Amino acid sequence: MKAEIITIGDEILIGQIVDTNSAYISKELNKIGISVYQITSIQDDREHILEAFAFAKAHAELVIVTGGLGPTKDDITKHTFCEFLNDELVLDQNVLDHVTHLFKTYIKKPMLAANKTQAYVPSTAEVLLNQYGTAPGMWMESDGTIFISMPGVPYEMRGLMENEVIPRLRDRFKLPFILHKTFLTYGMGESAIAEIIEDFENELPSTIKLAYLPSLGRVRLRLSTYGDDQEIVNKMIREQSDKLLPLIGDIFVGYEEEGEFEELIANLLIAQGKTLAIAESCTGGQMVERFTSKSGASRYLKGSLVTYATQSKIDILKVDASVIEEHSVVSAAVAEQMATNARKLYQSDIAISTTGNAGPTKGDSDVPIGTVFIGIATEDGVRSYEFMMGNHRERVMGKTVNKAMELLKGTLEDHQLKK
Amino acid sequence: MKAEIITIGDEILIGQIVDTNSAYISKELNKIGISVYQITSIQDDREHILEAFAFAKAHAELVIVTGGLGPTKDDITKHTFCEFLNDELVLDQNVLDHVTHLFKTYIKKPMLAANKTQAYVPSTAEVLLNQYGTAPGMWMESDGTIFISMPGVPYEMRGLMENEVIPRLRDRFKLPFILHKTFLTYGMGESAIAEIIEDFENELPSTIKLAYLPSLGRVRLRLSTYGDDQEIVNKMIREQSDKLLPLIGDIFVGYEEEGEFEELIANLLIAQGKTLAIAESCTGGQMVERFTSKSGASRYLKGSLVTYATQSKIDILKVDASVIEEHSVVSAAVAEQMATNARKLYQSDIAISTTGNAGPTKGDSDVPIGTVFIGIATEDGVRSYEFMMGNHRERVMGKTVNKAMELLKGTLEDHQLKK
């Protein structure tokens, strides 16, 4: 089954917001065996919306549309659907009751005429309940193509996908099984990898696709295939995986589908009953944010410090001023003291630290821009690691966080093995 | 001038990455007077790429294409351009020299055959130098439509846009002036705002567009127009702005185009010669990350703490255990102590703190999920503010950071006024 996603909103086309909805929808559709053929973003413009609907209808059996369902005048998706489907808006009493309930219970403000218009839907539309908002989801059909319309507000759209759209698609269609397996590698460029796995790539069956995705110091290698029988699909990928792994053994660090590194680390910490503290300098809070953005971090995270100023490393993290003087603030010695002292301060089992120069200008250290040290302190002592992360600020920060996550995961896995 | 953006890559269509390139490109084109008509994301598939090129050529005078330029076999954009333009690939000696130079100077690994293929470009293409990578940008034309091809790696694409694409477009075309003015409001829903400004909206000239963008507790109101004369365009928006502002005075907090709040705060701090410290609990490092993601934070940011565990608030931030006992860890008293003590610990002029319950489960406090306190300590003492941010974890965190930024900006502006 082929799908197209259409996101509607001037704010996308003028670059005021990044369209994150499409990636979420694509991922969820893929999980149930539906491939996305095209993602199209267009303005809140009647003619253009009609043209995009017609194009999608000609190419896809499922069209998912987000945006343009607000109560204000700039939102025209519903009216345009009526025109496209030769339908008219009718009041849906269930939606009206739901909107009234939301206003009474949560919004606690009088309901306005504009909000009542949200209860009008095309007469042939099946309503999908939007738990988190006043704009309903809608399921419509036109000559065998399904059109699903949802609000563009990400958390409302996600609720609708999870609770309404995905279950209905699964119930109604026998869908194939799509499998992606993504190998995370570190330390080699994509063309060097391509040379190492050249024979493997040439011998891949035509039903399996291989893709290279370089990003922030890593290259991800993705194998993809699909089929009706889940076991056969799994076996096909497993066979290729068994051939690929020995070739990239030195640079392989994990599978993306196992979860993000912060989740894997969280699981390892919880399984081992250990706690974590973080002391960041050059990564400026990006590392702790990765953990706290997921719920449940309080089970293992004691806390973190961003000691951005050199003086705060001395005052708060109790790094020796003499060590900074001797080795510079970007050094193995400082990274190690930061980790050791953060571990003590937070009384955690493990602590990780970063210190480096992300640029664009040199800070309180003379080391070249891009120099980074990562320290890890455990009950067994402290270790540090040195890297050169290039001269692009954003990338230095991102690569350092990725590398620190990898080292932390490795440390926890080693510990697991030793037991 | 109308433009279309085409982003090529299976990773987008399966939801493995979010396409951030399109938003960046749209924004940059808008700044020089070019409107984006459509953004289309498609797979690395020859037929589909050809179809998208043909569609874009029929609709737009400028087509910006990203992705599919890597050295590996899954990247086919260049070959497909040749097919579309009835052209062939030829070796470009300048590109080959550049790639050779990059390998010698930065990559420090032997250059491979695959890398040499990156120096081949369609014979009619004008090469755009990619400072940050081995895949060149290319400028091609077909029956009056300009096609620009760039790599999908964000920082390489940005370098090309800034140094090559935008200057060339400016030089070659007389472009209109596009103006967006976005009013940030806080504390009222979009339909309530629509009711307040109904007359204003009805009387807006047809050449000015109004849009409502609700997000994380704020509603952004955007006025947009364009024209050949910058002064007239400015005047048109100023006139409407003068009518709109009195209507939304109570909820208006600033203009988006003045910069993000963290930049405005950074400027105020630097102008006032003041330093900042941050103590975060429920926002988990998101606030400090906003500041450190921009370069120059070391000029005013002393550092930050994430005291996620209650015990770390006592041990490190020296919050009184008895105060936590009496008021709970999510309380005005704790927010105030966190701010006061962070200010002392980091010896900063100002400190801001957050404590709250973002959910989904209750933590060490019995307050309802969504309850948040923000504290601000200055030389004049400490204040705290209480909010109810709803029951959606991600949103509670995002709304709290937005609100804290707003309060901090307000505090600094008040201080400015008092002087």
Nearest alpha-carbon partner for A415 in A389, A370, A363, A377: A377
Q: How far apart are CA B372 and CA B402, in angstroms?
A: 12
**CB-based contact, B183 to chain A, within 8 Å:** no
Average pLDDT, chain B: 92
Which of A209, A233, A258 is at the close of a domain? A258
User: What tokens appear for A82 in the block?
Assistant: 């009526």
- At residue B232, the pLDDT reads 95
Rounded CA separation B386/B329 (Å): 13
Higher pLDDT: B136 or A103? It is B136
pLDDT in tens, A196-207: 999 999 999 999
Residues A101 and A204 in one domain: no
Residue B153 sits at the chain A interface (C-beta within 8 Å): yes
The residue-averaged pLDDT of B257-274 equals 92
Residue ending a domain, choose from A238, A258, A278: A258
- Band of residue B191 on the pLDDT scale cut at 50, 70, 90: confident
Query: Tell me, what's the pLDDT at A419?
Result: 58
* Contact assessment for residue B254 and residue B181, using Cβ atoms and an 8 Å cutoff: no
Residues of chain B with C-beta less than 8 angstroms from the C-beta of A30: 14-15
| Per-residue confidence (pLDDT) for residue B295, from 0 to 100 | 84
**Cis upstream peptide for A360 (omega within 30°):** yes
Q: What is the CATH number of the domain that holds B279?
A: 3.90.950.20
At position B301, the amino acid (one-letter code) is L
Q: Does A214 touch chain B (CB under 8 A)?
A: yes
Whether A268 and A411 map to the same domain: the answer is: yes
Same domain, B286 and B233: no
Query: For residue B100, how far is the Cα from the chain centroid?
Result: 34
Confidence band of B102 (pLDDT split at 50, 70, 90): confident
- Phi first, then psi, for residue A221 (nearest 5°) are -110, 125
Q: Which among A52, A45, A50, A41 is positioned nearest to A15, based on CA atoms? A: A41
Report yes or no: A100 at the B interface, CB cutoff 8 Å.
no
The closest of B404, B344, B346 to B375, measured between CA atoms, is: B404
Distance (Å) from the alpha carbon of A309 to chain B's nearest alpha carbon? 5
Tell me the C-alpha distance between A338 and B57, whole Å: 57
Q: Could you give the percent of chain B with pLDDT greater than 90?
A: 77
Average pLDDT estimate for B381-406 = 91
Q: Read off the pTM.
A: 0.86
CB pairs under 8 A between A and B: 325
Question: Of B39, B74, B155, which is closest to A12 when you measure between CB atoms?
Answer: B39
Whether residue B147 is found in the same domain as residue B285:
no
Query: Shortest CB distance from B15 goes to which of A27, A70, A361?
Result: A27
Co-location of B75 and B188 in the same domain: no
What does the alpha-carbon distance between residue B261 and residue B409 come to, in Å, rounded to a whole number? Answer: 7
A414 CA to chain B: closest CA distance, Å? 27
Kindly identify which residue of chain B lies nearest to residue A33, measuring between CA atoms.
B14
Residue B186 and residue B295 in one domain: no
- What pairs with residue A372 in β-bridges? A356, A387
Domain identity same for A133 and A269: no
Pairing relation of β-strands B252-255 and B177-186? antiparallel
Helix (H, G, I), strand (E, B) or coil at B102: helix
**Which positions of chain A have pLDDT values less than 50?**
none
Q: What is the torsional sign of CA B254, B257, B258, B260? A: positive
Q: What is the CATH number of the domain that holds A115?
A: 3.40.980.10
Q: Which residues of A touch B48 (CB under 8 A)?
A: 37-38
Portion of chain B with pLDDT greater than 70, in percent: 99
Q: What is the DSSP annotation of A40-100?
A: EEE-S-HHHHHHHHHHHHHH-SEEEEES--SSSTT--HHHHHHHHHT--EEE-HHHHHHHH
Domains of chain A: total: 3
What pLDDT band is residue B419 in, cutting at 50, 70 and 90? low
From A137, A172, A207, the end of a domain falls on A172
**3-state DSSP call for residue B98?**
helix
Q: What is the pLDDT of residue A417?
A: 66
pLDDT the model gives residue A105: 81
Res B237: pLDDT? 96
CB distance from A115 to chain B under 8 Å?
Answer: yes
Interchain contact B131–A (C-beta under 8 A): no
Q: Do A37 and B13 touch (CB under 8 A)?
A: yes
Q: How confident is the model at residue B93 (pLDDT cuts 50, 70, 90)?
A: very high
Separation between Cα atoms, residue B191 and residue A164, nearest integer Å: 26
pLDDT recorded at residue B351: 98
pLDDT per residue as tens digits for the range B142-172? 999 999 999 999 999 999 999 999 999 999 9
Question: Within this chain, do residues B238 and B291 fall inside the same structural domain, yes or no?
Answer: no
Indicate the angle between helix axes B46-59 and B77-85, nearest 10 degrees.
50
* φ, ψ of residue A50 in degrees (nearest 5): -60, -40
- Average pLDDT (B17-41) is 96
Work out the average pLDDT over B278-294: 93
Partner B contacted by A43 (CB < 8 A): yes
**Whether residues A224 and A184 fall in one domain:** yes
CATH number at residue B224: 3.30.70.2860
For residue A71, give Cα distances in angstroms to A75, A82, A158, B219: 7, 17, 20, 13
Pair B357, B214 in one domain: no
By residue range, what is the domain housing residue A64? 2-172
Q: Are residues B331 and B406 in the same domain?
A: yes
Residue A228: per-residue pLDDT: 93
| Contacts of residue A296, Cβ cutoff 8 Å, sequence gap at least 6 | A266
Res B250 pLDDT > 70: yes
Are residue A51 and residue A168 in the same domain, yes or no? yes
Tokens of A227: 């089929």
pLDDT at A393: 86
